[in-house]
Structure formats: C-alpha cells, structure tokens
Amino acid sequence: MPPLTESLFDRLQHLDPQSERFAVDVVQLLLDHARQSRASDLHLIPNAKKQLDVLCRTDGLLHPVACIQSAASNIVSRLKVLAELLTYRNDLPQEGRIRNTGDGVEMRVSTFPTVHGEKAVVRLFVGSGKFLQLEDLRFPADVLTQCNQWLAQPQGVLLVSGPAGAGKTTTLYAALRQIQLQSLTPRSLCSLEDPVEALVPGVAQSQMNPQAGFTYEVGLKSLLRQDPEVLMVGEIRDKVTAEIVFQASLTGHQVLTTFHAGRAAEACGRLLDMGIEPYIIKSGLLGILGQRLVRTLCSCRRESTAEADLIGWPVQRASVAVGCPECGLTGYKGRLPLVEALAARDGSVGAALLRRASVQEIDRAAIEAGMIPLQRRAADAIEAGLTTVPEAIRVLGISWDHD
C-alpha cells in the first residue's frame, strides 16, 4: 500500500462511525488526501454492501484508496452541503463548487444517482491564482514557436484537439494569457465555457447553462455583438457552433477552442464530415494542436535495452518504471504533453483540405510540411528517459506503425 494511502487508511480507522462529526471528518480527510496526492479527481462510489469505494485519479489513472464501511449517504450529503447542492434531492444529477478551500485549489462536485445510492465525483482544478503560461506546459520548442506565431495573428481559429483529459482546457487558458502578454494595448477577451475551470483576470468569462437555454450557439451569437476581439469557446460540439466559430474568425476575430478528435488530421476530417466547407476551414483555421498526456517516470526508473522493454519501437534504449515511496510505488510522477502542430494554411495541407482528402492524406501532407506526429514525439520522450513504451501504447492506443 503506497505511503499516502496507508496514512489515510490509518486516520480513517481512528474515526468513530457513531460520532456526529464522522461524515465531516471523513470528507475533510478525503479532500486533503486528494490534494496531497496531486489527484485530478476523487471518486466516491456506493456499492451493494452499502459501503463507499473511494478512488483517486492521479496522473490520468484511477487508484483505489479506501473503502468506507458505513454512513456512505451521509458522506455524499456532506459533500453536497459544501458544494451548495440540494441535499434532499438524490434522484437527479447535480453540479456545484466547493468554494473558499483556503489553499487555492478549486473543486467541482458532481453527483449522480445509481442503484446503490448517489455517486459523487470531485474534480480538483489548479487555483485561479496559479497561472500557467505556454512556457510552463513543457511543449517542444518547435511547437511553442509555432503557437506564439499563431497567437500573434489578429484573426483565425486555433483548435486544440484530443480526447477528454488531454489537457486541452489548460492549453487554452495558457494561450489566453499569452495573448494578454503579447498585446501592446488592452484587448476585449471573452470566453464561453462549460464549466469555468479557473478565473483569468482581464477576461469576461461566462458559463453555459443549457437548461436555461444558454448554449454555445446562443452565447456566441450574442457575444459577437459585444465587440470582442478574442473569443475562447470551450468546445465545438455541433455544426452550428462550428459554423459560428469559423464565421467569427473570417470577420476579424481570434478564436481559441477545443474539439474531440484523436489526432490533428482527424479534427480536419471531423470538420469536413460536419459539413463545414473546405475553403472556410482553410481560410479560417490558423492551426490545430493535437495533444495527449503521458505519465513521466520517477527518478527511480531503470534504463534498459532489452527487446522485451522496447516492444518493437524504433528506439535504441528505454527506461522501465520501478516504483518507490516518492511516486507511491507506481514508478511515475507527473505528466508530459505529446503535441503535434498542424498548420492548416501550409500549401500541401491546404490543398488536401480543398479537395476533401481523407484523414490519412491530410496527415501525410502535414508530416511532409514539417509536422512531427504524436508517435514520433512519444519515441523521443522514451529515448530521453521521460516515459515508457507501455505508457505510450496505453495513451496512444497503438504500437509502432511501421508504415
């Protein structure tokens, strides 16, 4: 059992389930543990035995940390009180925030009814006061240079693609701050988000409320009448939002947004499939950042040249995760972005878009134009001893493509 988890287990054992403060103390211990273990999410899941299974997502993976034997519903109710939710409604999903945590960490609480009781998930965000700049994201030097060039443009769409949990929103926030730093005069910056994860001074941020009719489509149409210069749109979810985003870029606005797609070229393919005209994509799109996050090795790693550890990847050496108390016996500590930067206006890529080429053709055109693909980024990180081959395969979902 990792040291932090062992400590939590011991402290939970000393609490009296009959005490009126049991639920209060349990929740405080769990939230403290989540912060100390660098968790991004804390899961509380009721089971058939009326117990509460507790798991933390750290560096992208879920880890069991405790099983609380009693008062499961009271513990979830305590979380709902902290998040200002309706404690008497356990038959519908709810969302809220835990405010004034004191240490700058912001938390969003989401509850969901299950057959065994309410499940709760706490998402922990970096505090609004801890601003990450682009230079803090550990992007490769060539990608950082490309990003700065895109953000210096007065209009166009910068699209950040990747699956959920790939760090897309963190990149958008850093890009907003970079625009602020690069601007010689004040600019009108606005955002539409679902949810607002951190507050950025100087940006007019709005949170979507679909139940009240405040959707991305409605928000974008109204916001364009608010004299914006830079728009951050949390996510393109449908054709209508995509059309408004690209029309905004063509009428002189700079737009930062995200899109769920596995690769940068796949984002182009999805936009074409949505029915967005190729000439609009080529004219309006500055570029696409396709990104994933891989776990980085702890200092306890061990180097290896064994074929079994290389798993067929074209690398001369690799490191192996070992595990120590410092990394909770996982062998990994922290995460590193793998990023590919597709410049949509480059001749070969633009031509491929205009003829509605396949995703594979767009990808080849981008690589020929200088884009370093995610797979190559992963191989470089492996050779540098930053991550492992199994981790790259876990995140990218592939072994080495010999083509």
Asked if 383 and 303 count as a contact pair (C-beta separation under 8 A), the reply is no
Distance separating alpha carbons of residues 299 and 112, to the nearest angstrom? 39
The confidence score (pLDDT) of residue 70 equals: 83
Predicted local distance difference test score (pLDDT) of residue 130: 58
Sequence-distant (≥ 6) Cβ neighbours of residue 265 within 8 angstroms: 290, 342, 359, 360, 362, 363, 366
The CATH architecture of the domain made up of 3-125 is 2-Layer Sandwich (3.30)
From the number of C-beta atoms within 10 Å of its C-beta (0-12, 13-18, 19+), residue 319 rates as buried
pTM for the complete prediction? Answer: 0.87
Quote the pLDDT of residue 129.
53
Tokens describing residue 133: 């700049």
Predicted pLDDT at 403: 45
Cis omega (within 30 of 0) for bond into 195: yes
Please tell me the CATH code under which domain 134-396 is placed: 3.40.50.300
pLDDT along the chain (403 residues), means of 10: 73 86 93 90 94 93 91 92 93 88 78 95 74 87 95 95 92 93 90 87 91 91 93 94 94 95 94 94 95 95 83 86 90 95 89 94 94 94 93 83 48
Ranges of each domain in the chain: 3-125, 134-396
CB 257 within 8 A of CB 236: yes
Structure tokens at 343: 């410049």
Torsion of CA 245, 250, 256, 259, to 10 degrees: 50
**How far is it, in rounded angstroms, from Cα 347 to Cα 369?**
8
* CA distance linking residue 157 with residue 325, whole number of Å: 44
The per-residue pLDDT for 363 is 95
